Structure 1
Amino acid sequence: MADTSYLTWPFFEDRHGDLAVELQAWAAQELAGLDHSDTDALCQDLVARLSRDGWAVHSGVDPADAGAKLDVRTLCLIRETLAYHDGLADFSFAMQGLGTGAISLFGTDTQKAEWLPKTRSGTAISAFALTEPQSGSDVANSTMTAQRDGDEYVLNGEKTWISNGGIADVYTLFARTGEAPGARGLSAFILPAGLPGFEIAERQETIAPHPLATLRFTNCRIPASAMIGDPGQGFKIAMSVLDVFRSTVAAAALGFARRALDEATARVKARHVQGAPLADLQMVQGHIADMALKIDASALLVYRAAWAKDMGAPRVTREAAMAKLFSTDEAQKVIDTAVQLFGGDGVRSGMMVEKLYREIRALRIYEGASDVQRVVIAREALKD
């Protein structure tokens, strides 16, 4: 990564800089020339590599440490660095954290002891099942039900666009238990894969391939002990998890944008037009300046949000929403400019900037679309 000066910013401790430098060296060696022909197999392999070499332990708290917390700055630095090298590597790490985030933050000691060692060691792949066909960002509109029946809950309904759907070993699932209407009637559950009544209804293909699926539940029974937190706390749990991981989405976008700038910078220095490098043209210099500006502004918002959470802020809704909105939207612009500077090669299949162009688009949608983030920011700004 060309620019590492941001690692000296006061948001970080020395250990963060050391981690980023070490991971950069690891990624340059381990993530070069990956075979993307089989998305599922590659994600499983990446989880294994990240676990083997000690990076996946950062995805969840240590269940042996009663006071352990998720270090959001570390999560962001890892996602930024992995995204710089390979989008699926970032995805594979991120889902180990997001999928068990509710367990890390709200799980019982027994739940943490059962699942976090598995996801931190890579022996289990995790997923976060929140979205439904009629409710994306409008979580309160969820209709999937979990009906209490003695010592069990009976699940019925569908979840869709579920990352790691079809390859995950454990899902954090949100369903309506009915304590109250709307958001107050949702609860969170731990769901192992392979239970009777749980099926993968559809695998979904996207412009940047990731494991995605629609999940269908028909009278699927889980023990009452699988609930995370208390009945009716599901919305609070989901929002708390997103409060942490929304900043990391912004960090991934930042990693994509940094790679686009580095690719573009190398291109305009090497490519000659009328006997001179493209970099000599003032118009091109203006584009490079705008890209660098967007990246630094994004980094400030990302690590402001992560630092605030690590310093003990109970919620960073405003900061995380700002970071995600700005960083993902601006990364899209940075990458589009890089494609333009590459000319015809920018849209050639397999070129790095072409891959980045496909990867970045989804980040402006998942974990709260850009316009939803504007609504969140406005509500926070209008509070008394």
Structure 2
Amino acid sequence: MPAFSLEPAQTAWCAELRALAADRLRPLAGKGEPGHVNRTLLAELGRLGLLRRVFASGALDLCLMRESLAHACTEAETALALQGLGAHPVHAHGTPAQRARWLPAVTEGTAVPAFALTEPDAGSDAGALRLRAEEDGEPGRETGAGSSAGRASSRTGDSPAPLAAVSDGPRRWRLTGEKCWISNAPEADFYTVFARTTPGAGARGVTAFLVPADRPGLTGEALEMLSPHPIGALRFDAVPVTADDVLGEVDRGFRVAMGTLNLFRPSVGAFAVGMAQAALDATVAHTARRRAFGGTLRDLQAVSHQVAEMALRTEAARLMVYAAATAYDDGAPGVPARAAMAKLLATETAQYVVDAAVQLHGARALRRGHLLEHLYREVRAPRVYEGASEVQRGIIAKELYAHLEAE
């Protein structure tokens, strides 16, 4: 399916989502407390079947959902996206027991997940993670192949002693360190946590763990941010985890993280496109009726050309997002670069469009409660999270040079 041509059913579904967001979700969003999880809104997203669709659909459907919801209710869009981001590693890499325990509640909107990757000194550089996962020395730890406890040599012979497990229990670790700028923290019910299991191994020594919020030693605090959704810091003080909590494979957590981001980065772009379209629609309506200098604003060439530029950039960003999502769904080559391009172009475009919309509206757009005042606060963060714009440029360049070297 060409990325620039949606099926009639998809177009109708997007219109339905915009109507649902305006009529049923926006009133619930307005009753939420800024900086806190709006569980009433999440429950409604679950009742509407939208959370289930996050995990049952492909990247393009996810983009259509996020764009449509963002156009009418950014709070609903963000709530839906964070459910998907936090729980996608469980959906894609979890064991049957992990999936059965958490995914039904996530899709019903009764359990809140969080994606805990970023640290105070390791944000965009996931390979620099410092949260430690140290193997537990308490009784019950396995000491088989690959365990340091099983490498001791025999004192009575020249051959190493045979390796033996001292317990039939699962492998255990203790998590120690910090995470910060974590969406839904500290109110989430469980966290997808990325920790270093092999020191000095860079991205190859990271493991993903599913950590319930009630584990001993796990604490958190809310951070007051520009964005209205909850963001917090987490502290891990010897938090116990076992092999039963691993998502995917030990030391292969970087793949879990990057696979999740490759899916969600284009949809961050879709969120940005939805905001840009809302700002553009408001600007077209305002400049068509606002009278100035003996006519309407749209009669001024400087204004009409500005509006045309806003529309041009918004549509270009939309097409880039759809193309990246379609490439992901088709398993096409170059997905990391396409995803990075989509997020980069769309988020930078949305910043430009919303800023231009504020300028054309004047002071009224900065009044608390105005749509553009709301969008102006919302639009800044996507250029930073899930990899800042500079990181996306780095990914694109890396992929280009890797392709050259492979020729």
Give runs of aligned pairs for residues 345-384 of structure 1, distance below 5 A.
345-383=364-402, 384=404
Determine the structure 2 residue equivalent to 1:16.
10
| Pick aligned residue for 1:88 from 59, 75, 80 | 75
Determine the structure 2 residue equivalent to 1:66.
none
Distance 1:11 1:198, change over 3 A: farther
Shift of 1:311: 1.3
Determine the structure 2 residue equivalent to 1:220.
239
Task: State the structure with more CA Rg.
Answer: 2
Shift of 1:310: 0.9
Q: Which moved more, 1:84-93 or 1:32-41?
A: 32-41
- Matched AA of 2:45: L
Determine the structure 1 residue equivalent to 2:54.
59
- Matched AA of 2:107: R
3-state secondary structure, aligned to 2:99: helix
- Matched AA of 1:185: G
1:71–1:310 contact (8 Å) kept in structure 2: yes
Cα deviation per residue 1:10-45 (whole Å; 9 max; x = unaligned)? 554454334312212211201344426612556222
3-state secondary structure, aligned to 2:114: strand
Shift of 1:245: 0.4
- Matched AA of 1:81: S
2:277–2:314 contact (8 Å) kept in structure 1: yes
2:4–2:323 contact (8 Å) kept in structure 1: no
- Matched AA of 1:30: R
Distance 1:41 1:134 in 2: 25
Cα deviation per residue 1:122-177 (whole Å; 9 max; x = unaligned)? 12111100000000000111000112222322111100000000221111110001
CA RMSD of aligned residues (A): 1.8
Distance 2:269 2:388 in 1: 12
3-state secondary structure, aligned to 1:100: helix
So what's the TM-score if we normalise by structure 2?
Answer: 0.87
1:28 is the counterpart of 2:22? yes
- Matched AA of 1:346: A
Distance 1:315 1:195, change over 3 A: farther
Distance 2:401 2:374 in 1: 39
Q: Which runs of 5+ in 1 are unaligned?
A: 1-6, 62-69
- Matched AA of 2:316: A
Cα deviation per residue 1:202-246 (whole Å; 9 max; x = unaligned)? 211112222011000101112321101111111111011100000
3-state secondary structure, aligned to 2:304: helix
3-state secondary structure, aligned to 2:379: helix
- Matched AA of 1:145: R
Q: Which runs of 5+ in 2 are unaligned?
A: 142-169
Shift of 1:359: 0.4
- Matched AA of 1:312: G
1:131 is the counterpart of 2:118? yes
| Pick aligned residue for 1:326 from 336, 340, 345 | 345
So what's the TM-score if we normalise by structure 1?
Answer: 0.92
Determine the structure 2 residue equivalent to 1:4.
none
1:52–1:121 contact (8 Å) kept in structure 2: yes
1:144 is the counterpart of 2:163? no
Distance 1:381 1:82, change over 3 A: same
Distance 1:193 1:83 in 2: 29
Cα deviation per residue 1:292-334 (whole Å; 9 max; x = unaligned)? 0001100110000001111123761010000000100011000
| Pick aligned residue for 2:252 from 233, 237, 245 | 233
- Matched AA of 1:154: R
3-state secondary structure, aligned to 1:175: strand
Distance 1:354 1:313 in 2: 39
Distance 1:161 1:204 in 2: 8
3-state secondary structure, aligned to 1:313: coil
Determine the structure 2 residue equivalent to 1:175.
195
Q: Which moved more, 1:309-318 or 1:31-40?
A: 31-40
Q: Which moved more, 1:233-242 or 1:308-317?
A: 308-317
- Matched AA of 2:10: H
2:115–2:191 contact (8 Å) kept in structure 1: yes
3-state secondary structure, aligned to 2:174: strand
1:195–1:220 contact (8 Å) kept in structure 2: yes
Distance 2:122 2:85 in 1: 19
2:327–2:333 contact (8 Å) kept in structure 1: no
Determine the structure 2 residue equivalent to 1:3.
none
- Matched AA of 2:375: L
Distance 1:288 1:316, change over 3 A: same
Distance 1:279 1:133, change over 3 A: same
- Matched AA of 2:324: A
1:50 is the counterpart of 2:45? yes
Determine the structure 2 residue equivalent to 1:153.
173
Distance 1:199 1:314, change over 3 A: farther
2:132–2:195 contact (8 Å) kept in structure 1: yes
Distance 2:298 2:131 in 1: 55
3-state secondary structure, aligned to 1:114: helix
Distance 1:132 1:211 in 2: 17
1:187 is the counterpart of 2:231? no
- Matched AA of 1:44: R
Distance 2:189 2:82 in 1: 12
2:35–2:230 contact (8 Å) kept in structure 1: yes
2:39–2:110 contact (8 Å) kept in structure 1: no
Distance 1:15 1:284, change over 3 A: same
